[in-house]
Amino acid sequence: MLSFLNIVIVGLLLGGIYGLVSMGLNLIFGVIRIVNFSQGELVMLGMYGAYLSWFFLGLDPYLSSIIVVPLLFLLGVVLQRFILQPLQNEPFMQIFATFGLLMFFQNLVLAITGGTGYSVRSAASSAVITMGEINVSLPRLIVLIAVIVVALGLNWFVTHTMPGKAVRAVTQDRRSARLMGINVELAFMLTFGAGAALAGLAGVMLAPIYTLSPQIGGNFILAAFAVVVLGGLGSVWGAFFGGFIIGLVEAFAGYYFDPALKHAIWFLIFIIVLIVRPGGLFGIAGAEEMGLREQD
Amino acid sequence: MSKIDQQEAGAPAAPGRSSPHVTRLRTELGRIAAIAAVFGAAITFWQGDPFILNIMAYTFLFGALASSWNIIGGFGGQFSLGHGVFFAIGGYTTANLYFHWQISPWLSLIPAMILAMLVAVLVSWPTFRLKGPFFAIATLALNEVALVLANYFDTLTGGPRGMMLPFNAGLANMVFTSRLPYAVLMLGFLIVCLVVGAMVLRSRLGYYLQAVHIDEDAARAAGIDVLRVKLSGMAVSAALTGIGGSLFAMYLRFVDPPTLLSIQDIGVKFLLIALIGGVGTLYGPLAGALLIIPLEFHLRATLGGMLPGANLLILGALLVIFSLFMRRGVVGAGQALWARYRRTKNE
């Protein structure tokens, strides 16, 4: 029973990580209908941003989010304006371009660091909270809290603010939104910026947990795709619960089958969901084809 | 997405639109023979230089593999990121049969081809329901599953340590002491892929694939069995990719999961080469390989020591630049220039 509870805790904490990483991807995916293959690399840049602020400014990694998050927002705006906007109605070229960005960022960092692994220390790094027989490391708990806060905040933003409503209008029907006077291009730039900023936030939050390497984005991107597809495109709560589902599946598969095969197992689930219900558990059926419909 | 947009995105030129006449298969075969002659002459010219021969072998092999990918990816518009799986199946089949039972790689090309084809049809059956980016994600995930499985089932693959194939030089073993026969072998494979590509392009299957690419719903409405057409295209493409994997395994005499299943070095390389050359054109992938492979060797030789990953860094940048400004690759850009030249001459 104890081990069962332990696995659930491990799964939930892991789910928090996956959910946090998926928030930005889901926002971009849901609103702009762009599959951003380079999202994991944006997370990776966020992690290195935390490292740099820690190394040069002595900032605690969690504090460095005040620098890293706005910078990644700017990067996201620039990427959307100059690379993805010209490719708006070209899904195939978007695949090429965002994959190109993935290779570019990953190997840029590899070339600069020479492949040395770095780690960031936070005051919270080694803190462990003990509840009865169960130990929870504080950084992982912070991630779990962060994903709840982000999900609540994002949900409030899209339902209660005018820019959020504009984003939802653009998601539902670009042409009508434009007719209502919404600047679609601006909405896209802000959305991509926000998606990148969320990736940056995820990176900062994960920096104390992982050893930094240029390839680390690859650990997250497929998990994030799985979460987004499982939870449902463009659904904030879809990404939230999808993260926990994937995290729990990974924890249980790792314990009851073989840790080496856990990835294969959730990839299979991912592929099955993609085929049986491409709209995701929380998504609207057929939403996955919106991006291929003629919209401008 | 409008049809015109798709055409710019590398859709094959619709008859009567950007290409006023459709070349006949016999003409294409003539052109391929000319290409074979030129490359054959190049091999003879540099026959004493192992460094150049190595680059040529890689160029021909990856030109051939990009051409194979192009059959389903370019003609059919199904952007698979999972062709590394079929490549690895070919590589592991040949490596295992040679390593454990000393079966000649020439013979094992047949099971390699059939296995790759079978797996391709089995995994594509469900995934072909997905469109555009979703198909790309699913195939990317397949590649990752294959990587996990290849690391796990070490009795079949040697696991992360890989399999070293014994050096028993001889034509029957497809193991040679010099690089010259390998360059010739890869050229032969390239020619096979180009001929198959030309035959597909000028067959009913090719026209169906192009119809599915340009507008799937319209193709279905016109009575085309879309799934069957996609599966046939995928089968041909995967079979050739499997052969490529076998040849690659025998060239390196070593197989391990990252060599065969690396997404950046293998799976995406095929479409990168095709994009830079010209997706959906018969000779585009070859043109892409002629540019990319020597460039990569050059970058690795000059920058590799100082800046690890510099070659992939530049390839990534090229991928972004080409998707923004040269969607139809160098072949497409060449065609556009040629068309403009003819127009100004006629005026």
> A243-247, B9-13, B218-222, B259-263: which range is least confident on average?
B9-13
- Band of pLDDT at residue B306, cut at 50, 70 and 90: confident
State the nearest Cα–Cα gap between A233 and chain B, in angstroms.
Answer: 11
Residue A178 burial (CB count, 10 A): 16
User: Contact, A138 vs A122, CB < 8 A?
Assistant: no
**Chain B, nearest residue to A258 by Cα:** B152
Rounded mean pLDDT of B192-214? 92
> Residues 151-190, chain B: which have Cβ within 8 Å of A?
151-152
pLDDT at A1: 61
Residue A118 touches chain B, beta carbons under 8 Å: no
Residue B195 burial (CB count, 10 A): 17
In this complex, do B9 and A104 lie within 8 Å of one another by their Cβ atoms?
A: no
Which pair of tokens denotes residue B252? 């390196």
Any domain includes A192 = yes
Residue-by-residue DSSP string for B241-270: HHHHHHHHHHHHTEE-HHHHH-IIIIIHHH
Rounded mean pLDDT of B202-220? 91
Any domain includes A153 = yes
State the nearest Cα–Cα gap between A133 and chain B, in angstroms.
Answer: 33
Domain count, chain A: 1
Q: Which residues of B touch A106 (CB under 8 A)?
A: 309, 312, 316
The H-assigned helical ranges of chain A are 2-32, 39-57, 65-79, 91-113, 138-160, 162-172, 174-179, 184-206, 217-231, 236-256, 262-276
Instruction: Calculate Rg over the CA atoms of chain B.
Output: 20
Give CA–CA dist B24/B37, Å, rounded: 20
Residue B316 touches chain A, beta carbons under 8 Å: yes
User: Contact, A98 vs A37, CB < 8 A?
Assistant: yes
Closest CA to B55 of B162, B158, B179, B170: B179
Which residues does A235 contact at the CB level (< 8 Å), separation at least 6? A26, A30, A280, A282, A283
A121 vs B52, which has greater pLDDT?
B52
**Chain A, nearest residue to B272 by Cα:** A96
Set out the domains of chain B in order of their start, with CATH numbers: 20-346 (1.10.3470)
Q: Does the structure show a pLDDT above 50 at B11?
A: no
State the nearest Cα–Cα gap between A222 and chain B, in angstroms.
Answer: 7
Considering only CB atoms, A107 lies closest to which of B126, B133, B316, namely B316
**Chain B, nearest residue to A262 by Cα:** B148
- Band of pLDDT at residue B329, cut at 50, 70 and 90: confident
pLDDT at B38: 93
**Residue A138 lies in domain:** 2-104+134-290
Q: What is the CATH number of the domain that holds A241?
A: 1.10.3470
User: Contact, A227 vs A240, CB < 8 A?
Assistant: no
Q: Which residues of B touch A104 (CB under 8 A)?
A: 313, 316-317, 320
State the nearest Cα–Cα gap between A103 and chain B, in angstroms.
Answer: 5
Q: Give the residue from B81, B217, B324, B326 with the most A CB atoms within 10 Å of its CB, the best one to mutate.
A: B324
Residue B145 touches chain A, beta carbons under 8 Å: yes
Give CA–CA dist B5/A89, Å, rounded: 7
Rounded mean pLDDT of B162-191? 87
| % pLDDT > 90, chain B | 41
Any domain includes A46 = yes
Q: Which residues of A touch B310 (CB under 8 A)?
A: 107, 111
Tell me the sheet residues that pair with A134.
A131
Q: Which residues of A touch B321 (CB under 8 A)?
A: 100
Any domain includes A87 = yes
pLDDT at B236: 96
In this complex, do A111 and B309 lie within 8 Å of one another by their Cβ atoms?
A: yes
> Residues 216-255, chain A: which have Cβ within 8 Å of B?
222, 225-226, 229
State the nearest Cα–Cα gap between A135 and chain B, in angstroms.
Answer: 30
pLDDT at B89: 95
pLDDT at B2: 41
Q: Which residues of A touch B275 (CB under 8 A)?
A: 96
Any domain includes A295 = no
Any domain includes A120 = no
Residue B39 touches chain A, beta carbons under 8 Å: no
pLDDT at A55: 87
Q: Report the complex ipTM.
A: 0.83
Residue B313 touches chain A, beta carbons under 8 Å: yes
pLDDT at A283: 63
B20 vs A155, which has greater pLDDT?
A155
Q: Which residues of A touch B133 (CB under 8 A)?
A: 35, 91, 94-95, 291
In this complex, do A267 and B320 lie within 8 Å of one another by their Cβ atoms?
A: no
State the nearest Cα–Cα gap between A181 and chain B, in angstroms.
Answer: 23
Q: Collect the ranges in chain A with pLDDT lower than 70.
A: 1-2, 234, 278-279, 283-296
List the Cα angle A269/A90/B216 in 5-degree steps: 70
Any domain includes A122 = no
Any domain includes A208 = yes
Q: Does the structure show a pLDDT above 70 at B10?
A: no
Q: Which residues of A touch B140 (CB under 8 A)?
A: 222, 225
State the nearest Cα–Cα gap between B303 and chain A, in angstroms.
Answer: 10
